Amino acid sequence: MNRYLISLAAIICAIGAWAYDGTKLWLPQQATGGTSPEITSPKSKDSVVAVAVGELRDSWHGAPVKMVLKKDKALGRDGFRIIPSEGGLTLSASEPSGLLYGAYYLLRKQDSGQSVDTEITDVPRYDLRILNHWDNLDGTIERGYAGHSLWKWDELPDVESPRYREYARVNASIGINGTVLNNVNASSKILSHDYLLKVAKLADIFRHYGIRVYLSVNFASPMQLDGLSTADPLDKGVAKWWKNKADEVYSLIPDFGGFLVKANSEGQPGPCDFGRSHADGANMLAEALKPHGGIVMWRSFVYSPSDPDRAKQAYVEFEPLDGQFAPNVIVQIKNGPVDFQPREPYSPLFGAMPATKQMAEFQVTQEYLGHSNHIAYLAPMWKEFFEYVSPESISAVAGVANVGDDSNWTGHPFAQANWYAFGRLAWNPDEDASTIAREWLELTVVEDDMPENVKSGLVDMMVTSREAVVDYMMPMGLHHLFAFGHHYGPEPWCDVPGARPDWLPKYYHRADSAGLGFDRTLSGSGAVSQYPDSLAGVLNDADQCPEEFLLWFHHVPWNKTLKSGDTMWNTLCRHYESGYDAVKRYQSVWDSAKPYVDEALHQDVSRRLIAQARDARWWKDACLLYFQQYSNMPFPKDVEAPEHTLDAMKKVNLGITNYESPSMDSLDAVR
């Protein structure tokens, strides 16, 4: 056996009894007993180096490691190289952060039972791998399903919660190097001096783990904080205000990352309020940050009625601005053109602004995928995005965090895997979704005596789970069939007097006696024409359009025969059934894992799977019964007849409002 092969047995001896603890996530377990190998650190006073050395000294049981800091262009800022030799391993990097990522790499390999016996060079695809917290200053989290915000603003800067350091460590261990602390629906208060002191305290802690802090800013801050009469980006006084504010921020936080901005979207102020463009607004902020090396991440999530089809609006507003943004502005674009639906085609803005830096915004929190009650492993969704948008064509990735102050951080234990997978894919989008799932399982849930067939059952459950959610919620390109406000359950019938039509399901599904789906072809809204010609042609033709996007781009007759040889209606029914069946299957997969996972964890996930199966049934019954009113066709024989009536489904009231998530007890009571 190669002397650097890390044997699982040795690790077990060294670590001793292993028990799942949701609070520790996938972090390296500290060694208890055994002899530690020699870790030689480079001569450096940098605190990031000290953390890297400390991690290996605490938890590494393999060969001796020599850590070397030397400039190497090929490694960029965060990359590292590991070279095994007779005397041990050499871990080298250009910068301290590279050593830290190298240390976590070694520990990940060790803790998931893999060997490090060949030379490896690992360089992240993106320099900026960032989490976006939608945390409000009152401690609530918009679309957060894991408790309250981790940031205890009332206690900061005096009280330092131990979780701040853990948070930074967890992120660093998966390569995340930036965090936007507050909601894009931003309170201007975050830029007040008192709050900046609190932010500075967090930045002081995160810095040791190579994590930079960024803030979401409210475009009207000069008016709201200091009573300026305008926030017009071309006004000299406004520009000066931002310049002074940036200077103040950097005097407190020298490595501050920059601003994230949601402007002229869903009621947020922005440059368009003053007759200026998004580029005018972004560039004015960019100018203020430039002397300090800061950046502006300017969101393209806008949908003012520039076109009757909401899916076209961001493109209509942003594409003409190509080439107008300053070099330190990155346009941050949601993966799909509407809004984080269980499945969307990619946003056509990607690739449509060749002279503009772009970054992708993924949603890690499961706003539209069952909150923290459903298993929905999202790596396959993000990989699907990268099948259409080449990783090289964008500059960075951001993920809307699913983290709160729940003891296990994410609510659903399996939602931890989404945080993990986001970091791993932000580092390397070519990683395989099932490899990441297996790795996460090995590092967290799985005990060492679990047989391979049980383990692969769990991997399979994770990898298929997002498709299952798509199937029981909105298959074949359906989207936004959600209940108004909380986005948890089905309400394809939803009508809220006075609400924007494009916030209501009927706007999207367009069910009528002729068929189902949104006609976005050239003879419909024309959204297909925003895609490159070769793809637009395929999407425009109902016979060629991939089935998973069919009802996104076409209004399809109920009895149209699809590629499968069956009608659209029958195919739709079978998708709903298959999603529901998958969740029932997951229940038995999880049961088979019972002897090999922690008992409390097993119970927790089992309970959530019961809720998920019931919800899948609820979705299936509600949507199929509702659509059947228009199709007037019977359910195929292999689809289980609905358990509920449409009237009963329409009466379901979870008793929750905007942004809230139903509790398990309230779900038990209504279904």
Binds ligand GCW by CB under 6 A, chosen from 339, 439, 471, 519: 339
Q: Measured from the CB of residue 487, what is the shortest distance to ligand GCW in angstroms?
A: 7
Q: Which of 66, 108, 133, 143 binds ligand GCW (CB under 6 A)?
A: 143
For residues 186 and 211, which CB has a smaller minimum distance to ligand GCW in the complex? 186
User: Does the footprint of ligand GCW cover residue 362 (CB under 6 A)?
Assistant: no
Indicate whether 301 belongs to the interface with ligand GCW (CB under 6 A): yes
**To the nearest whole angstrom, how small is the minimum distance from the Cβ of residue 379 to ligand GCW?**
20
**Residue 110: partners with Cβ closer than 8 Å, 6 or more residues away:** 6, 11, 28, 59, 60, 61, 62, 116
Range 182-201, binding ligand GCW (CB under 6 A):
184-185
Whether the Cβ atoms of residue 143 and residue 404 lie closer than 8 Å to each other: no
Residue type, 181: L
Nearer to ligand GCW (CB atom), residue 108 or residue 374: 374
Residue nearer to ligand GCW on the CB measure, 177 or 216: 216
Backbone angles phi, psi at 91, to 5 degrees: -110, 115
Closest approach of ligand GCW to the CB of residue 301, in Å: 5
Contact between 315 and ligand GCW by CB under 6 A: the answer reads no
Helix, strand, coil % in the chain, rounded to nearest 5: 45, 10, 45
596 to 655, contacts with ligand GCW by CB under 6 A? none
**Site for ligand GCW contains 318 (CB under 6 A):** no
Smallest separation (angstroms) from ligand GCW to the CB of 309: 18
**Token code pair at residue 199:** 């932010």
Cα separation, 408 vs 424, whole angstroms: 20
Least Å distance, CB 659 to ligand GCW, is 7
Report if residue 256 touches ligand GCW, rule: CB under 6 A: no
Q: 451 preceded by cis ω (within 30°)?
A: no
Rounded to the nearest whole angstrom, what is the least distance from the CB of residue 363 to ligand GCW in the complex? 7
Q: Which residues pair with 297 in a beta bridge?
A: 260, 330
Cβ-based nearer residue to ligand GCW, 124 or 411: 411
Closest residue by Cα to residue 422 from 581, 54, 431: 431
Q: Which two tokens stand for residue 78?
A: 């965060």
- For residue 591, the Cα-to-chain-centroid distance in whole angstroms is 28
- Cβ at position 560, least distance to ligand GCW in Å: 32
User: Rounded CA gap, 193 and 198, in Å?
Assistant: 9
CA distance readout (Å), 222 to 216, 249, 278, 663: 14, 15, 17, 40
CB nearer to ligand GCW: give 306 or 529.
Answer: 306
> Is residue 80 within 8 Å of residue 415, measured between CB atoms?
no
Amino acid, single-letter form, for residue 492: P
- At position 558, the amino acid (one-letter code) is W
Of the pair 100, 260, the CB lying nearest ligand GCW is at 260
Which residues have C-beta within 8 Å of that of residue 82, sequence separation ≥ 6?
A: 89, 90, 91, 102, 105, 106, 116, 119, 120
* CA distance linking residue 132 with residue 398, whole number of Å: 7
* 11 Cβ contact partners less than 8 Å away, ≥ 6 residues apart: 61, 110, 111, 113
Distance, in Å, from the CA atom of 608 to the CA atom of 461, rounded to the nearest integer, reads 14
Nearer to ligand GCW, 345 or 515 (CB): 345
- Distance in angstroms (rounded) separating the CA atoms of residues 621 and 199: 48
- Closest to 100 in 3D by CA, of 48, 139, 64, 162: 48
**One-letter amino acid of 136:** N
The answer to whether 262 contacts ligand GCW (rule: CB under 6 A) is yes
Closer Cβ to ligand GCW, 105 or 301, answer by number: 301
CB of 303 to ligand GCW, least distance (A): 10
Q: Shortest Cβ distance from residue 614 to ligand GCW (Å)? A: 24
- Asked if 131 and 178 touch (Cβ cutoff 8 Å), the reply is yes
User: What's the maximum distance between 2 C-alpha atoms anywhere in the chain?
Assistant: 76
Instruction: Give the distance, in angstroms, between the CA of residue 346 and the centroid of all CA atoms in the same chain.
Output: 15
**Shortest distance, position 361 Cβ to ligand GCW, whole Å:** 8
Q: Which two tokens stand for residue 509?
A: 């599904």
Cα torsion angle, 40, 44, 48, 50, sign: positive
Q: How far is the CB of 194 from ligand GCW (least distance, A)?
A: 24
Return the number of the residue (143 or 438) whose C-beta is nearest ligand GCW.
143
Hey, which residues are catalytic here? 266, 339, 367
Exactly one of 26, 164, 256, 340 binds ligand GCW (CB under 6 A); that residue is: 340
Q: Per-residue b/e over 586-617, b at no fewer than 16 CB within 10 Å?
A: beebbeebeebbbeebbebbeebbbbbbbbbb
Show contacts with ligand GCW in window 146-185 (CB under 6 A).
184-185
Shortest distance in whole angstroms from residue 125 CB to ligand GCW? 24
If the CB atoms of residues 143 and 479 are measured against ligand GCW, the closer one turns out to be: 143
Across the beta sheet with 65-69, what order do the strands follow?
39-40, 65-69, 88-93, 80-85, 120-122
Closer of 135 and 519 to ligand GCW (Cβ): 135
Please identify, using beta-carbon distances, which residue of 175 and 399 lies nearer to ligand GCW: 399
In whole angstroms, give the CA distance from residue 49 to residue 460: 38
Q: Shortest Cβ contact with ligand GCW: which residue?
A: 339
* Tokens found for residue 396: 């960075």
- Give the nearest distance from C-beta 21 to ligand GCW in angstroms: 32
Tokens linked to 15: 């670590």
Total of residues contacting ligand GCW (CB under 6 A) = 11
Distance (Å, whole) CA 310 – CA 510: 14
| 3-state class (DSSP) for residue 89 | strand
646 Cβ contact partners less than 8 Å away, ≥ 6 residues apart: 622, 625, 626, 629
Beta carbon nearer to ligand GCW, 27 or 314: 314
Assess 134 for contact with ligand GCW (CB under 6 A). yes
User: Which residues would be at the binding site for ligand GCW (CB under 6 A)?
Assistant: 134, 142-143, 184-185, 262, 266, 301, 339-340, 367
